[in-house]
Structure 1
Amino acid sequence: MLSDKVRQLVTYDARLRMVVADRPKLRALVERAAADGAIDHASQRALGVALLALGEYEPAAVHLRRAVELAGSPGEVIAARADLADLYRHGGDLPGSELICRMTLELARAQAPELAALPLLRLGWTLAEQGRPDEARQALAEAQQFGEGAEAGLFVDVEGLVVPLPPSVAALLGAEPEWDHDHDGASGSLARAGSYFVRRGPEAVAEHARLVWLREWAGVAEVVAFEGDVLVTADTGVETLADDPGAGAAMGRALRELHAVPVTDCPFDGRLDVLLAQARRNVVEGRVDADDFDDDNLGHTPMQVYERLLAERPDQEDLVVAHGDFTPSNVMANGVLIDLARLGVADRYRDLAIALRDLSGDFGPEAVAAFLSAYGLDAPDEAKLAYYRLIDELF
């Protein structure tokens, strides 16, 4: 089988990254399999792993997602998603890898407990790389209880797996800063180190580009350092609007100003074609937690939500420069905007739907009325509000 041949050519180095013993031979295997047109789950997974080992992450992801779609059992889904977690870890997206591991672990515990070691091992590794050794040891210790399936010499000193900070960031924060993941506005890959906020991975690269571009038109956090895939921003010195009774009017003013930025000048694309493609990837990779859906969507699977999005897609988009995650916790009391990795040209309802949902739930109808007045919208399109709230279920 192709998977056996790939396994013979791939091993792990001291940092638990895939390495290839014979690259020309593995490349020949990949090309032969592609030419043969193998489309079963096992072949797609083997191709994905081979391309991952060769460092070709985008085509590897395509094959691994296809392996998930072709899976005939929960065990096959778990195995392919564990490989996807490896892919994201290799590519530097540690928060993405962690999310896939945790969601895959839930699936394993519910439907195939004997395979829980697969996501647990990878969860331990990605936590270790993020500098969270206690959590990493806990995950690896649990994986080790599963015996043979978790044995491959892959239990190492987790302290040695921490990904070092780039030189300019280490000079600012110290080589081993003390991280705080419990802070105002905490989300995703964001951590605090002293008076700075630090983000790492593809999300950091995306946010840096948007911070640099947007500061001509709007208040944004100051970039203190950026090197490689690590972004450091300064504390704005004020609180977010998450607990502010005046959040409605303040958010309305901030969003009106953001949506007035010229669309033609924005190089970032957040339109429906892009959103729906990412939504499907999130569903296939197991990044979506259906238990966290809004009340009116509980009981539906992520794929059912995705299919509704295709069926109910609006005919037109009213394009503006949209924040992409416009919540009270992402707007500071002084109007500064944070958490901008999703900013791009999109329908204005991408922001309106999330803002109105959160304001209604957190502050009530008066805040909603104040927001609409400040933004300058008398009668929102309820169908589009519902559609863009539905999209958010998959992110």
Structure 2
Amino acid sequence: MAVTAQNPPRPYRFDERLRMIPVDPEILAARVAVADPHDFAGLRRLGIALMLLGRYGDALDRLDQALELADTEKRRITVWINLGDVYRYQGEPGRAEVLYRRALDASRALDPDLVSFAAHHLGKSLAEQHRPQEARQLLNEAMRLRVADGDSELIESTRAALDHLTELALPLPPEVAELLDPDAAWSSGHEGRGGNLVRAGRYWIKRGPRAVAECERLIWLRDNGIAVPEVAAFAEDVLVLADTGTGSLAGQAMSPGDPAAGAESPGGQPDPDTVGALMGRTLRALHALPVAACPFDGSLDSTLAEARRAVVEGFVDTGDFDDDHRDRTPPEILAQLRERRPAEEDLVVAHGDFTPANVLRGGVLIDLAALGRADRYRDLALAERDLSGDFGTDAVDAFFTAYGLPEPDRGKLDYYRLLDELF
């Protein structure tokens, strides 16, 4: 393809894993610095350039703006593919797959010209996730369409992906692979909020930016005397946690005679007062840590920004809304959160998703990627909601008594419960 003024050389090339990397980062950074991000095309170009430079958060910001400006289905589909690329490159294949599939479904229904692009990108993503059969099917579909269209450059791109299909699969870092038994049984039925999660034998393995965030928080909490799982290994963006051998307060009944359990109901289920009191004591200890020493931000500024991204990109699960919020849309909830935002935040070291499912027997905390400086009611609201639903009002009363807050602020509890609908 000839290089002309209308067709300048691309600012990237493909590496051995068929991912785009910048040809000249300095020139690319200079282009970013002078870009005028006021229209759809400019925002898209800027988002892609920032992705190439590894500035994934900035890239998502610009592409979200482009998505809000998209006034045709074609434009929305192209941005969904671009957003999928950013999430894939930064190590969040789950979100990337959602966006690619959304783009593929929409293009099949509304814009056939984009089907090959969506299928190609989704195929490469699935290949990276060790799903070669699905990947090959999608890449073959993209190839048929591209051959029919006759674009030699696109044909070659898909042919390269098919030729190197097995090589695209993301390997585990050697330090992690050596730790695992060759016959370890893998399970993907435990995906948690803290990152892509699978179980392999005696270990839990997480990968991606949230796994990196969780590792940093686990180490900090351990150094500050909080009970957390043992980090068995950490390399690149892969976190390996040793299985504690105990279930969560939500997932299993406490065993008779367990010193962490206390009294049980006649049916063998944990006593609601016991569960509530353990949750209260555990949270009180976490919130007692010196907030000024916490290096992680979970404030409303950052949390509302995350919420906005989830709304714009369509990641809010409205089917999981609480009953009293089911008649609201995600944009309506976001607007209400901005309007009702508390004037001040009572900052503590907050878990960020403090529910019975994330507290193990004995008060061990798990799923900690969202831990940071935040209002104490971010934790109190979710604990009250889930304790009430799972164990009843006695557990809630025991929780607030053990925490030391017999008369919580109902307005703030409601606010932070509403906030959680967007996560």
Residue 260 of structure 1, aligned match among 279, 288, 305? 288
5 Å-filtered alignment, 1:114-125, equals 115=114, 118-125=117-124
Do structure 1's residue 239 and structure 2's residue 241 form an aligned pair?
A: no
CA distance in 2, matches of 1:151, 1:240: 50
The more displaced of 148-157 and 348-357 is 148-157
Deviation at 1:108, TM superposition (A): 6.0
5 Å-filtered alignment, 1:37-76, equals 37=36, 39-76=38-75
> Over residues 349-370 of structure 1, what are the superposed CA-to-partner deviations in whole Å (9 max), with x where a residue is unaligned?
1011111111222233232223
Deviation at 1:16, TM superposition (A): 2.8
- CA spacing shift, 1:195–1:137, aligned 2, 3 Å: farther
- CA spacing shift, 1:347–1:15, aligned 2, 3 Å: same
Q: Secondary structure at the match of 2:360?
A: coil
Could you say which residue in structure 2 is the equivalent of 1:83?
A: 82
Query: 8 Å contact 1:6–1:46 — kept in the other structure?
Result: no
CA distance in 2, matches of 1:329, 1:142: 42
CA distance in 1, matches of 2:362, 2:208: 28
Q: Secondary structure at the match of 1:173?
A: coil
Gaps of at least 5 residues in structure 1 are none
Query: 8 Å contact 1:266–1:321 — kept in the other structure?
Result: yes
Could you say which residue in structure 1 is the equivalent of 2:18?
A: 16
Query: 8 Å contact 1:133–1:159 — kept in the other structure?
Result: yes
CA distance in 2, matches of 1:269, 1:35: 30
Query: 8 Å contact 1:217–1:261 — kept in the other structure?
Result: no
> Over residues 158-184 of structure 1, what are the superposed CA-to-partner deviations in whole Å (9 max), with x where a residue is unaligned?
432121222211211268965311249
Gaps of at least 5 residues in structure 2 are 254-269
> Over residues 193-232 of structure 1, what are the superposed CA-to-partner deviations in whole Å (9 max), with x where a residue is unaligned?
1110111111111111111110132110001111111111
- Structure number, greater radius of gyration: 2
Query: 8 Å contact 2:32–2:49 — kept in the other structure?
Result: no
Deviation at 1:265, TM superposition (A): 2.2
Do structure 1's residue 202 and structure 2's residue 230 form an aligned pair?
A: no
The more displaced of 145-154 and 163-172 is 145-154
Deviation at 1:44, TM superposition (A): 1.4
- CA spacing shift, 1:302–1:106, aligned 2, 3 Å: farther
Q: Secondary structure at the match of 2:178?
A: helix
The more displaced of 141-150 and 126-135 is 141-150
CA distance in 2, matches of 1:75, 1:299: 30
Question: CA RMSD of the aligned region, Å?
Answer: 3.3
5 Å-filtered alignment, 1:18-33, equals 18-19=20-21, 23=24, 27=27, 31=30
TM-score, reference length from structure 1: 0.85
Deviation at 1:86, TM superposition (A): 0.5
CA distance in 2, matches of 1:294, 1:138: 39
The more displaced of 96-105 and 372-381 is 96-105
Do structure 1's residue 336 and structure 2's residue 336 form an aligned pair?
A: no
Residue 311 of structure 2, aligned match among 252, 275, 283? 283
Could you say which residue in structure 1 is the equivalent of 2:237?
A: 229
CA distance in 1, matches of 2:84, 2:155: 19
Residue 398 of structure 2, aligned match among 370, 377, 386? 370
CA distance in 1, matches of 2:295, 2:409: 27
Could you say which residue in structure 2 is the equivalent of 1:298?
A: 326
Could you say which residue in structure 1 is the equivalent of 2:171?
A: 164
5 Å-filtered alignment, 1:143-154, equals 153-154=157-158
Q: Secondary structure at the match of 2:204?
A: strand
Deviation at 1:153, TM superposition (A): 3.6
> Over residues 275-296 of structure 1, what are the superposed CA-to-partner deviations in whole Å (9 max), with x where a residue is unaligned?
1122222223333233333233
Could you say which residue in structure 1 is the equivalent of 2:422?
A: 394
CA distance in 2, matches of 1:152, 1:390: 49
**Identity fraction in percent:** 51
> Over residues 280-333 of structure 1, what are the superposed CA-to-partner deviations in whole Å (9 max), with x where a residue is unaligned?
222233332333332333343322222211111001112211110111111101
Q: Secondary structure at the match of 2:364?
A: coil
Could you say which residue in structure 2 is the equivalent of 1:324?
A: 352
Residue 189 of structure 2, aligned match among 171, 177, 182? 182
TM-score, reference length from structure 2: 0.80
CA distance in 2, matches of 1:6, 1:300: 47
